[in-house]
Amino acid sequence: MSTRFVIDPLDFVRNASTHHAKIAVGELLRLQDYLYESIGTLSYQISGIYDARNKPNLHIKVEGEIVLCCQRCLDKLHHTLDLQTVVLLAKNEFELDKVDKDDAIDAILATSNLDVLDLIEDEIILSLSISSRHLDGECEILKPEEAQENINENNDNPFYALKKLKKTH
């Protein structure tokens, strides 16, 4: 397991710091529930910036590929991540409550020990579809007419034997 990267986010922004690294997909434990398999690595970069209103922000960029589970056919679904987001740092609960009223702004409380990998994992999970699935026609599941053809053509299929019994009686 890689070393966790913990920052003081306000200090990170004050120093205009930037950090970039790679992380194995298998190390993102909460993401595992969405995955078909835990292979590959993701590249990420986090930068501390001030916005036009002089508010502290973290700019997060994540790139790579993950293998999700298609909710329609339960097979592999390759998903390319090219995530870029900006998160406003609220200095206290009052400021966070005020910002939460605006749905267009993502904000978090600027705690003194922010685990960057947890933040990145949160952003990845939030970027995923509620129900990940292949595009129409790309799933490997059989269509009803294809299933009927398999029953007709496959003598090893137990339903073929039932079909023959049904015809004889």
Q: Where are the alpha helices (DSSP H) in 29-155?
A: 93-100, 116-127, 144-153
Instruction: List CB contacts of 131: < 8 A, sequence separation 6 or more.
Output: 71
pTM equals 0.77
Domain that holds residue 148: 139-169
55 and 93 share one domain: yes
76 and 143 share one domain: no
Domain contains 73: yes
Domain contains 61: yes
DSSP per-residue codes, 47-76: EEEE-TTS-EEEEEEEEEEEEEEPTTT-SE
Per-residue pLDDT of the chain (169 residues; tens, 9 = 90+): 567 889 999 999 999 999 999 999 999 999 999 999 999 999 999 999 999 999 999 999 999 999 999 988 989 999 999 999 999 999 888 888 888 777 778 899 998 899 999 999 999 999 999 888 888 888 876 555 555 555 555 667 777 777 777 776 6
